[in-house]
Amino acid sequence: MYTEKVMEHFKHPRHLKEMKDPDAVGTVGNPTCGDMMHVYIKVGKKDGKEIIEDISVQTFGCVAAISTSDVVCDLAKGKTMEDAKKISKEDIIKELGTLPHQKIHCSVLAQDGLNKAIEKYENKNK
Amino acid sequence: MKCYLDNGATTKVDQEVVKAMLPYMEETYGNASSLHKFGQDAKATLEESRETIAKAIKAQPEEIIFTSGGTESDNLALKGIAFANKDKGRHIITTKIEHHAVTKTCKFLENDGFKVTYLDVDKEGFIDLDQLKKAITKETILVSVIHANNEVGTIQDIEKIGKICKDHNIYFHTDAVQSFTKTIIDVEKQNITLASLSAHKIHGPKGIGALYIKKGTKIKKIMDGGSQENKLRAGTENIPGIVGFAKAVEIANQENFKNMQMLRDYFIEKVEKEIPETNLNGSKKQRLCNNINITFKYIEGEALLIKLDDKGIAVSTGSACSSKELRPSHVLIAMGIPPSVAHGSIRFTLSKYTTKEELDYTINYLKEAVKELRDMSPLWRK
Ligand SMILES: Cc1ncc(COP(=O)(O)O)c(C=O)c1O
Ligand code: FES
């Protein structure tokens, strides 16, 4: 059902943990099946631009939800806020090879969580 | 290690069953409707097998109709009774915790102009007999209640249900696919009109089952063709399957069930002791001897299932994420279990082959997997 890449991220996730003192937390729930994600970010500066210095996620959800949470962290880490916002569900799925059709919404959740965290940070620091 | 704990889905075919079936593919392969010796030998075996199945539920051989399995038996029972009795009434009573083979058949009948009442269940999965009595109207032609539920193992008091149906002169069907051989089915004493049975849940082959139909019941066939099975089920009889089914029934053994029950209780107790924040779904007392259904709070079932699978342990889950419709199990929801709790539900179903070592191995990895997933969950310790 799942690709090897999905299983690899599921079995050995590197970013699925709580973060102490994050700069912002994006909390999203999945209206389809009732799952939940908390996306934590720490913001730093590089060449005068704000970047995602560190990111982690906590997920209550299926294999695809956990895998996509891990991937979104890989993709966002070190990116400028602007570039991180551009990460799409297609980018996430591409990293994993493919996802079963009924699991696409899990990747949207990871993307939403990241955007929510960024939005929270930007609102706080306006 | 490999631990197959999904015997509610299907079981390993017993070696004895395989051995009994082989000659009916290689030697006695005749069509039971043929007049020559090849056919008549097959026919004799067919009738012997019918007798074995009948005896196991205290029925007469001619009251057993072979089908392709539990699904077809449920379809034949519900549609067959509905179509044959619609002049008497168009109301059917069933429950909210039936297998899809019954639920979806009821939906089909609703689209066809029948009215269906779905009885509630309490938090352990039992129907309320008073609600059943109140639901009966002059229009009611059939009551269909699952004997032992396939997800949570709750065993209904079918004797009392049968009595109510008898008192009201209504046909009573029970889906006994999970309970067959594991609990007592006595169609006389329990006033059962129709009972669905299936071979592959009891170490028999897949694709073969039976429907018990009490003598004198008004029922219509649902498939057109030859006049096999008392003109109720067209199609050349699956003799190897039927022989295997009968052998599986013959070797079903009370000792095995006692042993499963012991292992079941051992597992439940150990999980409750060693893993925090779990709860057993279903009834503690009136429970199928091989069914364990436990919720591990704050995590999702599919993720846990896949983690266990990675260690060679096969289970199933009622989580929304694991269903194509992304809805949690209708059985757990009917029992009033909140969707978030249904989410972390795992079903372990044992067989006569299950050992204590396998269960210890499973609990060991279960502990590890639950902890790993909880450490990733935003809901844990919050
Ligand atoms: C309670 C119940 N009814 C019906 C069925 C369907 O039986 P079969 O697989 O033989 O069609 C099953 C098995 O999945 C079951 O557990
Ligand atoms: S989180 Fe529910 S399907 Fe993926």
Residue B382 belongs to some domain of the structure: no
- What residues flank ligand 2, with Cβ below 6 Å? A 30, 33, 35, 61-62, 64-65, 103, 106; B 321, 326
How many structural domains compose chain A? 1
Closest chain A residue to B369, measured at CA = A11
Domain co-membership, B189 together with B330: no
CB pairs under 8 A between A and B: 63
Using CA atoms, how far apart are residues B81 and B222, in angstroms rounded to an integer?
Answer: 10
Q: Cα B284–B323–B315 angle (5° rounding)?
A: 50
Q: Is the dihedral of CA B299, B302, B307, B308 positive or negative?
A: positive
User: Per residue, what are the HEC states of chain A?
Assistant: CCCHHHHHHHHCCCCCCCCCCCCEEEEEECCCCCCEEEEEEEEEEECCEEEEEEEEEEEECCHHHHHHHHHHHHHHCCCEHHHHHCCCHHHHHHHHCCCCHHHHHHHHHHHHHHHHHHHHHHHHCC
CATH number of the structural domain spanning residue A16: 3.90.1010.10
Domain co-membership, B96 together with B233: yes
Q: Which of B193, B222, B251 is the last residue of a domain?
A: B251
pLDDT of residue A31: 65
Residue B326, domain extent = 3-11+253-376
Q: Which of B228, B251, B274 is the last residue of a domain?
A: B251
Q: Which one, of A30, A16, A44, A15, lies nearest residue A116 by Cα? A: A30
Other C-beta atoms closer than 10 Å to the C-beta of B22 total 12
CATH number of the structural domain spanning residue B168: 3.40.640.10
Q: Is the pLDDT of residue B201 over 70?
A: yes
Q: Is the pLDDT of residue B185 over 70?
A: yes
Q: Which of B189, B222, B251 is the last residue of a domain?
A: B251
Residue B381 belongs to some domain of the structure: no
Which residues of A, range 63-92, sit inside 8 Å of B by Cβ?
Answer: 63, 65-66
CATH number of the structural domain spanning residue B270: 3.90.1150.10
Q: Copy the structure tokens of residue B306.
A: 């896949």
pLDDT of residue B69: 98
Mutate: best of B296, B300, B311, partner A, most A CBs <10 A? B300
Closest protein CA for atom 1 of ligand 2: A61
Residue B225 belongs to some domain of the structure: yes
For B107-122, what is the mean pLDDT? 98
Domain co-membership, B241 together with B264: no
Q: Is the dihedral of CA B30, B36, B40, B41 positive or negative?
A: negative
* pLDDT tens digits along B118-147: 999 999 999 999 999 999 999 999 999 999
Residue B232 belongs to some domain of the structure: yes
Domain co-membership, B292 together with B193: no
Question: Comparing B100 with A35, which gets the higher pLDDT?
Answer: B100
pLDDT tier at B321, thresholds 50, 70, 90: confident
Among the listed residues B106, B165, B289, B321, the single catalytic one is: B321
Q: Is the pLDDT of residue A65 over 60?
A: yes
B344, B374 Cβ separation under 8 angstroms: no
pLDDT of residue B382: 54
Q: Copy the structure tokens of residue B201.
A: 């849940």
Domain co-membership, B25 together with B90: yes
Domain co-membership, B226 together with B274: no
Domain co-membership, B245 together with B272: no
Domain co-membership, B246 together with B278: no
How many structural domains compose chain B? 2
* pLDDT tens digits along B203-216: 999 999 999 999 99
Q: Which one, of A35, A109, A30, lies nearest residue B377 by Cα? A: A35
Residue A82, domain extent = 4-125
Atom of ligand 1 nearest to the CA of B199: 10
Residue A102 is nearest to which of B298, B326, B339, comparing CB atoms? B326
* pLDDT tens digits along B265-298: 999 999 999 999 999 999 999 999 999 999 999 9
Domain co-membership, B204 together with B307: no
* Percent of chain B with pLDDT strictly greater than 90: 94
pLDDT of residue B164: 98
B106 included as an active-site residue: no
For B86-92, what is the mean pLDDT? 97
Domain co-membership, B70 together with B204: yes
Half-sphere exposure of B43 (CA within 13 A, CB side): 12
Domain co-membership, B232 together with B180: yes
Q: Which chain A residues are within 8 Å of B307, Cβ to Cβ?
A: 11
Q: Chain-centre distance of CA B241, in angstroms?
A: 18
Domain co-membership, B257 together with B200: no
* pLDDT tens digits along A16-49: 999 999 999 999 987 667 789 999 999 999 999 9
Contact A63 B340 (CB under 8 A): no
- Checking ipTM against 0.90, whether it exceeds it is yes
Residue B306 is nearest to which of A61, A63, A105, comparing CB atoms? A63
Q: Copy the structure tokens of residue B56.
A: 């196991």
Half-sphere exposure of A37 (CA within 13 A, CB side): 36
Q: Which chain A residues are within 8 Å of B300, Cβ to Cβ?
A: 35, 60-62, 65
Using CA atoms, how far apart are residues B295 and B289, in angstroms rounded to an integer?
Answer: 19
Q: Which chain B residues are within 8 Å of A58, Cβ to Cβ?
A: 376-378
Using CA atoms, how far apart are residues B17 and B11, in angstroms rounded to an integer?
Answer: 12
pLDDT tier at B153, thresholds 50, 70, 90: very high
Q: Which pairing describes strands B140-144 and B291-296: parallel, antiparallel, or unpaired?
A: unpaired
Contact A10 B303 (CB under 8 A): yes
Other C-beta atoms closer than 10 Å to the C-beta of B319 total 31
